[in-house]
Amino acid sequence: MSHLLTDRTKVRRIPDRGKYQEHELFEILDSSFLCHIAFCEANDLPVLIPTAYGHDKGFLYIHGATTSRMIKRLEEGAPLCFCVTIVDALVLARSAFHHSLNYRSVIVFGTAEKVEGEEKNRGLKIISDQILKGRWEEARPPNKKELKATTVLKIQVIEGSAKVRTGPPKDDAEDYSLDTWAGILPLRQQPGKPVDDPTLLKPIPLPDSVLNFLKNG
* Pairing of the two strands 113-115 and 150-156: antiparallel
Of the candidates 152, 70, 58, the one whose C-alpha atom is nearest the C-alpha of residue 114 is: 152
User: Hey, what long-range contacts does 30-36 have (CB within 8 A, 24 or more apart)?
Assistant: 30/55, 30/130, 31/86, 31/104, 32/84, 32/86, 33/127, 33/130, 33/131, 34/84, 35/60, 35/62, 35/82, 35/83, 35/84, 36/82, 36/83, 36/84
Alpha carbon distance 149, 71 (integer Å): 12
> What letter does residue 21 receive in the DSSP assignment?
B
Compute φ and ψ for 83, nearest 5 degrees.
Answer: -135, 135
Q: For the ranges 1-5, 114-118, 181-185, 188-192, which has the lowest average pLDDT? A: 1-5
Query: Are 43 and 181 within 8 A, CB to CB?
Result: no
Q: What is the pTM of this model?
A: 0.93
Is the confidence at residue 1, as pLDDT, over 50?
Answer: no
CA-CA-CA-CA torsion sign (126, 131, 134, 139)? negative
158: three-class secondary structure by DSSP: coil
Mean pLDDT over 192-214 rounds to 96
Mean pLDDT of the chain: 96
Q: Which domains does the chain have, with CATH numbers?
A: 15-216 (2.30.110.10)
| Bridge partners (DSSP) listed for residue 48 | 38
